[in-house]
Amino acid sequence: MTDGPLIVQSDKTLLLDIDHPLSTECRRAIAPFAELERSPEHIHTYRLTSLGLWNARAAGHDAEQVIDTLIEYSRYAVPHSILVDVAETMSRYGRLRLEADPIHGLVLITTDVAVLEEVIRAKKIAPLLGVRIDPETIAVHPSQRGHIKQSLLRLGWPAEDFAGYVDGQHHEIDLVQNGWKIRPYQELAAEGFWHGGSGVVVLPCGAGKTIVGAAAMAHAKATTLILVTNTIAARQWREELLQRTTLNEDEIGEYSGAKKEIRAVTIATYQVMTKKKNGTYAHLDLFDTHDWGLIIYDEVHLLPAPIFRFTADIQSRRRLGLTATLVREDGLEGEVFSLIGPKRYDVPWKEIEAQGYIAPAECIEVRVTLTEAERLAYATAEPENRYRHCATTRTKRDVVVELAKRHSEDQLLVIGQYIDQLDELSEVLGVPLIKGDTPVKERERLFNLFRSGELKSLVVSKVANFSIDLPDATVAIQVSGAFGSRQEEAQRLGRILRPKSDGRTARFYSVVSRDTIDQDFAQNRQRFLAEQGYSYRIIDADDVWQGKL
C-alpha cells in the first residue's frame, strides 16, 4: 500500500482525493482515459469506460501505460479484475481493421478469426458485407465504410480504419507566419490529426482551434469544406484564414442563409446544411458534389444528427473535428468516434494556462436564497417549469445588477438561457442584448463595439456560447443555462479565457438558487470544469452586497 491520491474500485470507478499533494499530477495522468462523473469538495469520482479507453488507444496510449498509471497513483492494490478489464478492452481496438483492396475496393481484416466470425453473424453487419476472401478477410461494400464502423463500435469491436483517403482537388494553402508564430501544441495537434488520417482535436476555448484547422489545411493542400455553428463564426473563420494563410478573398466562400458561395474553401453553417425543403435536406449534397480533400467540423460536439448521417457516407474524405469538450449530453460520443474519428490530440486547460496562452480564471458560484413567495411559486410549479421558476427569479436579478455594478470597469458578459429574463436584465442594466433574432449585422456591430472597449457590457443568450471571439472579456455572469449541460459551461467559461494584455485573472460567476433544481444542475455543469482542474468557490449572495468577492 502507498499513500497515493487514487482509489481504484472494482466497479470501474476511480476516487481521487483532491486534497492530496499529488492530486493535480494524478488528474492529468488519468485524463486521457477516465471520465469525471462527480466532483464534490474533497473526493472526485471518475469512471473507466470502453469509449474512453479506445480513445486513449487511438491517441497512442497502450494498456500498459494505463495500468502503470493506475498502479502508480493508487492508494491500495488495484483490483486484478480492473487490470484484466483494461487490457482486454483496449485490445479490442484494432483487432478488426478496414483496408483498401485493389480488387474488392474495401475489406475488413482481422487478427482474430473468432472475432470476425462473431461480427459477420450480427444482423446489422451482414448486409454491409460482400464475399469472404479468406479466413481473415471479408469484402465490405465501399459505400458502407461509415455504417460498418458505427455498427462494429456498437458491438464492442471498434475497427481501425486504414482504408485511406482521396486527395481531393489540389489547392495550394500555406500558413503565413508574419508577426505571429504557430504555438507548439497547435502544431502537434495538426500533425497528430494528419498522421492519424481523421479524428478530433480537443483544445480549450481561446486556445486557437482555428489555427489548428488552418495548419491541417496547409497539410492537406486541397479544397476544404468547413462547417460552423453560425454566420458570425463563419466570418471569424474567414478573417482568421485571410490573416494566417496564403488564401485570398476570392478563394473563400460563405454558404449560409445569406449567401451561397462555393469556392476552393467553403465555410457553411450547420443551420443551412440541415434546413429541409419539401421534406428533404436540400443542401446536404454540398458534401458530395464537390471533390473536397478535407472537411472540418467546428464545435464537433454539437454536430446535428443529419450531418452525422451524411458523414457516414463520405468516409473517403479526411475529417477533422474541433471542440473544447467531447462531452455530448445526448450520449452520441460514439458517433463522433466512429464517423469523424477518434481523439487525436487533447491537452488539459490548466496546462495551456500555465504556458500563458489562455487567461487564468476564478470560478465563483453565488448562491441566492429565494423569497418565501418565490419558494412557493417554485414548489407548486409543474415539474417541467420548475427550472425556469428558480432560474429567473427577481432575487437573482438583483444580485446580477449588484455584480455588474461592482465590475463596471471590466468588459462584462451576462449570459443566460431565458429570453424574457435577458430582456429584463438588458433593460435594468441599460446595456444591449444579443439573442437569436438579433440581425447578423447588428450582432457584428455590437461585438465590434465590445471588442473596441466602447461598450463595456453585453447581455447575451446562448447564441454567444460558441465560436465568438471577444478577447477582452474579463468577467462573465451566468444566470441560467441549458439545464445541467457540461459542454455549455465549458463554452461559457471560454468566452473570457483569451489572454489579457495586463495578465489579469478572468472571473466567471454562476448565480444559483439554493435548495432547488438549479443547484443540482449547477453541480452537473461544474463537473467539466473540475475535470480541467478548476474549482468553484461558493459564496452567499450577502457576500456580494458586502463586497466580499
* pTM of the full structure: 0.85
Cβ atoms of 157 and 119 closer than 8 Å? yes
Together in a domain, 281 and 133: no
What is the model's pLDDT at position 51? Answer: 92
Residue 3 confidence (pLDDT):
87
SS3 category, 77: coil
- CATH number for 201: 3.40.50.300
How confident is the model at residue 41, as a pLDDT?
66
Q: Is 539 exposed, middle or buried (0-12, 13-18, 19+ CB in 10 A)?
A: middle
- C-alpha cell recorded at residue 124: 446489422
Kindly state whether residues 208 and 275 are assigned to the same domain. Answer: yes
φ, ψ of residue 5 to 5 degrees: the values are -85, -5
Domain-ending residue, one of 347, 364, 399: 347
pLDDT at site 153: 93
CA distances from residue 358 to 28, 321, 474 in whole angstroms, order as listed: 18, 21, 12
> Is the domain of 200 the same as that of 340?
yes
Q: Could you give the number of structural domains in the chain?
A: 4
What is residue 1's predicted lDDT score, i.e. its pLDDT? 47
**Is 173 among the domain residues?**
no
Mode of pairing for the β-strands spanning 105-110 and 129-134: unpaired
Sign of the CA dihedral 221, 223, 227, 233?
Answer: positive
**What is the block-wise mean pLDDT of the chain (549 residues), using blocks of 10 residues?**
86 92 90 79 86 90 95 95 96 94 94 94 92 95 93 94 93 93 94 92 87 97 94 90 96 89 93 83 80 93 85 92 79 87 85 85 89 92 88 91 91 90 94 88 88 89 68 84 67 76 83 89 75 79 79
Q: What is the reported pLDDT for 465? A: 61
79 in any annotated domain? yes
Same domain, 88 and 100: no
What is the rounded distance in angstroms from the CA atom of residue 537 to the CA atom of residue 532? 15
Q: Does 371 lie in the same domain as 447?
A: yes
Are 79 and 143 members of one domain? no
Say whether 536 sits in a helix, a strand or coil: strand
Give Cβ neighbours of residue 181 (< 8 Å, ≥ 6 apart). none
| β-bridge mates for residue 345, sequence order | 201
State the pLDDT at residue 468.
Answer: 63
Please list, residue by residue across 65-96, b when 16 or more beta carbons sit within 10 angstroms of its beta carbon and e when fewer do: bbbebbeebbbeebbeebbebbeebbebbbbb
126 and 87 within one domain: no
Residues 302, 358: one domain?
no
Instruction: Give residue 539's domain range.
Output: 354-545
